[in-house]
Amino acid sequence: MGISAILEFGISQRSCPQLESRDTENLLVQQAASGDHTAFATLYEMHVDRVYRHVHFQIPVSHDAEDITQAVFVRAWKSLPRYKQTGAPFVSWLIVIARNAVIDHFRSRRNLRDLDETNGPHSQVDPVSSVESEFARAEVREAVMKLKGDRRTVILMHFIDGFSYEEIGNALGKSEGAVRVIQHRALKDMKKLLGEASIP
């Protein structure tokens, strides 16, 4: 199995509806930051599926992923008055909050090193999916979860969440070139990890 498996997984999971224009979204963010619950509810509907997918890739237990997704939006609502436009899409800010929420989740369970131990049958698994496909996804997930810091974040944001290098850079406060370098190193790490996993 090659690194292309993660590309296939990411692409197959990315089916977001067309979002509102950036100007419309910015207006909603401003209104929500001023305490407009209706504007925030609209932002929630626009982005909840994407945030859930980011969380669920790392936490395959569906009810845990759902709880953390809700917690992400609670944190976002409380933090909105301090939100600053950086040029990155609003959802990238939500993804950064989600990344931190996932870390907190595993720290609270003292299970940061081996996240895959929590993997069980997904409550929403497609019954016609092949065993080989599920095994490949498990291997890829395990490799991604063994990446450290920004390397894991860049892989998730680019391949799973579908962000461009520029958007990732804006969200993380890094240049586009730096993001590309991080991804290159992360993919090298994954290739090594997946190669080791194939050794009997």
pLDDT of residue 29: 93
pLDDT of residue 127: 41
- Please compute, for residue 165, the number of CA atoms within 13 A of its CA located in the half-sphere on the CB side: 10
HEC string of 105-133 equals HHHHCCCCCCHHHHCCCCCCCCCCCCHHH
**Which segments of 10-56 are extended strands (E)?**
none
- Domains, the chain: 19-119 (1.10.1740.10), 131-200 (1.10.10.10)
Angle between helices 22-33 and 37-58 (to 10 degrees): 110
The CA distances from residue 146 to 3, 18, 58, 140, in Å, are 15, 33, 11, 10
Instruction: Return the amino acid letter for 60.
Output: P
Say yes or no to pLDDT of 35 above 50. yes
Against a cut of 0.85, is the pTM above it?
no
pLDDT of residue 11: 44
